[in-house]
A and B are shown apart, each in its own frame.
Chain A
Amino acid sequence: KAGVTQTPRYLIKTRGQQVTLSCSPISGHRSVSWYQQTPGQGLQFLFEYFSETQRNKGNFPGRFSGRQFSNSRSEMNVSTLELGDSALYLCASSLGQLGGKLFFGSGTQLSVL
């Protein structure tokens, strides 16, 4: 069974630009969660989608948004990039029940210059 696939692996952007990251979950998984990982803050939850609906959201500004498609693939968008948005962005897929196991992809390393 293929794992969670994230594209692209690396991105370099400049301040003020916007970026879209993509995530394909494990086949059969309908939930996709997004996390930001930085050396200072560690792993922080951004949001979770299930059957194209956002069910949960973390404490990030509105510049961070996401969506999920009918095939469970998900995209995350960051608008008006800031230097502090440089991070590893991880998505995780699961079956979607509370307390369920989360399986992570390898992430997208975003550098904002």
Chain B
Amino acid sequence: QKEVEQDPGPLSVPEGAIVSLNCTYSNSAFQYFMWYRQYSRKGPELLMYTYSSGNKEDGRFTAQVDKSSKYISLFIRDSQPSDSATYLCAMYNAGGTSYGKLTFGQGTILTVHP
């Protein structure tokens, strides 16, 4: 079983819809949680960075972390065609010598159609 599970989709929604992306994890040592967006032939772009349980909002994006359930989510409001990309959740074990090592989900392919 993978440490981080993410539904690969694909997910197709109409423009303006609310999108919900989710990841579950099994390692309780994960303390920092990130969401990246990756366009085709590009590197991942950091969207959201959270540490504590709860919600964090940035524009149309809301990241939610529930450490007790080992579950994180990313919500995209008023989705746009330009949001079409692969969304990757990533987690960081901040203990020991885990420098630079993020554990990623498989990524969810999202398409927002006009």
Looking at chain A, what size class is its interface with the partner chain?
20 to 34
A101-B34, A101-B49, A106-B43 known; A55+B88 contact, CB < 8 A: no
State whether A98 touches B44 (Cβ < 8 A): no
Main secondary structure of the interface of A (DSSP, over half): strand
Residues of chain B within 8 A (CB-CB) of A107 are: 42-43
State whether A96 touches B99 (Cβ < 8 A): yes
State whether A90 touches B100 (Cβ < 8 A): no
Number of A-B contacts (CB under 8 A): 71
Residues of chain A within 8 A (CB-CB) of B106 are: 42
Complex CA distance for A45 and B107, rounded to whole angstroms: 16
Q: Tell me the B residues contacting A by CB distance below 8 Å.
A: 31-32, 34, 36, 41-46, 49, 51, 88, 90, 92, 94-95, 97-107
Q: Tell me the A residues contacting B by CB distance below 8 Å.
A: 4, 6, 31-33, 42-43, 45, 47-48, 50, 55-56, 58, 90, 92, 94, 96, 98-99, 101-107, 109
- Which 3 pairs from chain A and chain B are nearest by CB? A48-B100, A33-B100, A104-B43
